[in-house]
Amino acid sequence: MKILEEFQKAFDDIVMPYINSLNITNQFTEPLFYTLEQKSNKFRSGTALISAKLCGGTYEDVLPIAAAVELIHNSIIIQDDIADSDIIRRGKQSAWRKYGICYALHSSLYIIPECLRILRQLKSNKAVEIESLFMNYYQDVYKAQSGQVLLNFRQDISYQSFLDVHLGKTALGRWAIISPAIFYSQKEYINIFDEFAKKLGDAGSIKNDIENFLESGDYEPFCTDIRLGSPTYPTYYYFSKCNENERDKFLRLFGKNRDTNYSELRQSILGKGTVEHCIKKINDLVNKAICLLDKFNYCDEKEILIAWANNHRINVNG
């Protein structure tokens, strides 16, 4: 998609040269940079740059924010791939597969103090606040990941606990877009950017969970989540619509790591209107996110955020 290519280009042309100027590439960061340099949307650093412009600032002012968020995001990607035993990332071998688990893991942890040193280059009296928030949000990501592991899909599951997991996963993206507003002391924009990022984070998570239901044959990713006991928004909604017998049947499968009839399960989930509900939820979140931008006058940066938001939509006829 064009908007994703624009974020990647901004990273390649603006953020990566800055990262290279820091001279942090060495034998300890090789697995991290292997992951970082693979093509991906790089929207976290991109939205940091856009946020700076909307606050009346410059890209140069917030380059430490843009660099730190991409470095730490790719650090977490390495750890996620190790935890999930994923051997492919962005069409290539995952870092742990290429370099070994220990080397890749240590590289991902090595970059944390480097990120803090990068953030100390911010030329603002808000630098300490931004750095502190970075560590808090970084911790929120791990709380969310641990929370997902700890969630048991029961009839009395707390929906708020589920939402907390969803929200925690968006923490770094939210930090990236609100930090420039903190940098420039634009208090009125902080909440706007935070709510914008929350809504798109939720929309993106649900879209990722539901997309394989829009295909005709491949239900494997969704059913793998069920076998491994990973709650998702679609499974939560489906479970909430089941009767007692259907819930019992589902709970006998959830987290039991056993084979099941993908086709039968898919039809049961479709029969509860799960896909239709999720599509409506996604598109409603996108609409609300775009409405938050009404505060800003027309400019290229606003249009890019709108295009980024619209990229999360699912075409009902698609």
In this structure, what are the phi and psi dihedrals at residue 185, rounded to the nearest 5 degrees?
A: 55, 40
Q: pLDDT digit of tens for each residue in the chain (318 aa)?
A: 578 888 999 999 999 999 999 999 999 999 999 999 999 889 999 999 999 999 999 999 999 999 999 999 999 999 989 987 889 998 899 999 999 999 999 999 999 999 999 999 999 999 999 999 999 999 999 988 887 777 766 666 666 777 788 788 899 999 999 999 999 999 999 999 999 999 999 999 888 888 766 665 555 556 667 777 777 888 888 888 999 898 888 888 777 766 666 677 778 888 999 989 999 999 999 999 999 999 999 999 999 999 999 999 987 664
Q: Whole-prediction pTM value?
A: 0.90
Same structural domain, 153 and 236: no
Q: Which pLDDT does position 302 carry in this prediction? A: 95
Residue 214: give the domain boundaries.
187-310
Same structural domain, 192 and 178: no
CATH of the domain at 122: 1.10.600.10
Q: Which pLDDT does position 147 carry in this prediction? A: 78
Instruction: Answer whether residue 316 is part of any domain.
Output: no
Q: CB–CB of 180/52 below 8 Å?
A: yes
Same structural domain, 221 and 100: no
- 3-state class of 213 per DSSP? helix
Same structural domain, 105 and 253: no
Paired tokens of 224: 């793998």
Q: Which pLDDT does position 155 carry in this prediction? A: 61
| Cα–Cα distance measured from residue 98 to residue 104, given in angstroms and rounded to the nearest whole number | 9
Same structural domain, 196 and 254: yes
Among candidate residues 185, 212, 234, the one where a domain is terminated: 185
Q: How many CA atoms lie within 13 A of 205 on its CB side?
A: 23
Same structural domain, 12 and 47: yes
Paired tokens of 286: 């996108």
Q: Which residue, chain included where needed, has tokens 């709380």? A: 143
Cα four-point dihedral sign 224, 226, 232, 233: positive
Q: Which pLDDT does position 250 carry in this prediction? A: 83
